[in-house]
Structure 1
Amino acid sequence: MNRKSLWIFIGWVTIAVLMIGCKDRSPGNPVETKVGVDKAEGILSDDTSGSAIDSPQYPEATTVIIAIGDSITYGQGASGGGYPSMLQEKLLAAGYTVVVLNAGIRGERAYSTHERWLQEIADADIALLMIGINDLLNPGHCHEPYDCHTAEYIEAMINEALISKKIPLVSTVTPAKTTDVRAWVNPYIRSLNARIESLATQYNIPLVDNYQAIRDNGGDALYSDHVHFSDTGYNIIAQQWFDAIVNGKLIETARE
């Protein structure tokens, strides 16, 4: 074979190898994602590996509850901790092994809560959500001014919690003090609360009616300012969450 023929032969071999290497490969079947929450009634999911409940920072079998919301969750006006710390005290006194984390941020709106939602609930078992008052008081400051989509963000957070196998509880928005200049917002609060109640029914999750609880247990006497509460007011809110958790058998007491 002369040199020219040799180079032609090598060229054809190279082309053949490249064609084999570039042969079309059909993609494999995509992984099927199963969406749903498999929880027996009154029993938390056993899928706690790597979560806060599985962390050495808490005693074994600790139920981690996180309260998420704005300054009302934060506890503005309270002498210390607001309703989350009061709720923890009530649950511990009743014999439950729990920790209640306070993830309230003053001035927060629903879109900001949604942005941090998945990160906040990642290591929790139960998520308590109360949000919306700032959207209604200052709609011009929403992510989309005067189009806050509050109920839509709440629905998204409920759905994401369920997909993440957390137990979400949602609260109605508490009223403004009726003798304050901001009392104009109360009809809008009631309208939003009707949508929140509908979402709780739609997703079959516990609804905690803190709006009505404030109205029925002292009303304006419970406030430290126009929308925030005294310790007495926050204690009423804590009791509503406590009743929903205990009566719903969402956690088990060590004394059982």
Structure 2
Amino acid sequence: MFCKSFLICSLFFLLTGCSSEQSAKHASKTVSLMGKAEPSEAFVPATINLVGIGDSLTRGLGDESDHGGYFGMVKEMLEQQDEIKEVLIDNYGVIGYKTSNLQNKLSEEDVMASIKEADIILMTIGGNDLMGVVRNHLFSLDFEPFRKEQKHFENRMRDIFTEIRELNSSAYIVYVGLYNPFTYMLSELPELDTIIDEWNRASQQIVSKDGNAVFVKVDHLFSSVDDDTLLYKDKFHPNENGYSIIADQVFEAIIESPLDRFANQQ
């Protein structure tokens, strides 16, 4: 069973939720595209439809800059590529969303229309499902309720992928995995790392079965107990620094598949 300090800290994070922002600058690392063949004369740069769905991380909560979190940063990175003329965006990330909320969101007409036209779909979801277990079991936290909820989470994730593919069979889906925001304050609780790893492995299996989707692992980026400069003032969401490194990982996952597949050939 988790220790009392974890319960107190968890309750604090849940009650404080989204607080005021903390500013920090971080230089995004340069992703090299050296060695790529020059496009042919018939090559026409593409217009990319980029759609975001999920929770507060896709919304960009915690980024005090004007980049819009990892979603906005990835948009800017894509716009810098020769293969891309412009990036049109729709961001449906909503603060507090769980997988059940996202299921309902996918039935809204404007969301359905955007997904039908999407070339790339970026998604974060699951963190609030996990934290819901904390809220509902404050005084009896152990592995069992997390693993029970994980089964429901997996079923909803499968349904989400099914719903997306019924609307769009060809969009490239990028799912960003979960990380442990309590590493810095509760490093003595490796149990939570184990739980997050189990949820991530379950998500990765679902994503891998899609065939045109990728799981982006980020928990290792937030695993240092020496430094919390990647987190927003609420000690839960990423700040500009944190979103920048997430954006780097997402962008690398996108360009592993040639961008010119989106371009028009005359």
Say yes or no: TM over 0.5.
yes
1:122 paired residue among 116, 122, 125: 116
Distance in 2 of aligned mates of 1:199 and 1:226: 29
Distance in 2 of aligned mates of 1:167 and 1:194: 20
Deviations 1:206-242 (A, max 9, x none): 11112234448x9632111322111111011111111
Name the larger-Rg structure: 1
Q: Does 1:98 align with 2:87?
A: yes
Aligned to 1:28: none
Question: Aligned in 2, Cα 1:251/1:139: closer, same or farther, shift over 3 Å?
Answer: farther
- In the alignment of these two chains, the number of paired residues is 194
User: Which ranges of structure 2 fall in alignment gaps of 5 or more residues?
Assistant: 1-44, 137-147
Deviations 1:136-156 (A, max 9, x none): 1123779xxx74711211121
Q: How far off is 1:255 after superposition?
A: 11
Q: Does 1:190 align with 2:190?
A: no
Aligned to 2:100: 111
CA RMSD, aligned part only? 3.1
Q: TM-score, normalised by structure 1?
A: 0.65
2:175 paired residue among 147, 170, 174: 170
Q: Which amino acid aligns with 2:209?
A: Q
Aligned to 1:62: 47
Question: Aligned in 2, Cα 1:250/1:158: closer, same or farther, shift over 3 Å?
Answer: farther
Q: Does 1:202 align with 2:209?
A: yes
Distance in 1 of aligned mates of 2:119 and 2:263: 17
Aligned to 2:7: none
Question: Aligned in 2, Cα 1:185/1:226: closer, same or farther, shift over 3 Å?
Answer: farther
CA contact under 8 A between 2:46 and 2:262: conserved in structure 1?
no
Distance in 2 of aligned mates of 1:74 and 1:198: 25
Q: Which has the higher contact order (CA 8 A, sep 6+)?
A: 2
Distance in 2 of aligned mates of 1:200 and 1:219: 31
Question: Aligned in 2, Cα 1:220/1:131: closer, same or farther, shift over 3 Å?
Answer: same
CA contact under 8 A between 2:181 and 2:222: conserved in structure 1?
no
User: Which ranges of structure 1 fall in alignment gaps of 5 or more residues?
Assistant: 1-59
Q: TM-score, normalised by structure 2?
A: 0.63
Aligned to 1:132: 126
Deviations 1:74-126 (A, max 9, x none): 11110131111111111111232322332211111110011112542234222
Distance in 1 of aligned mates of 2:182 and 2:134: 22
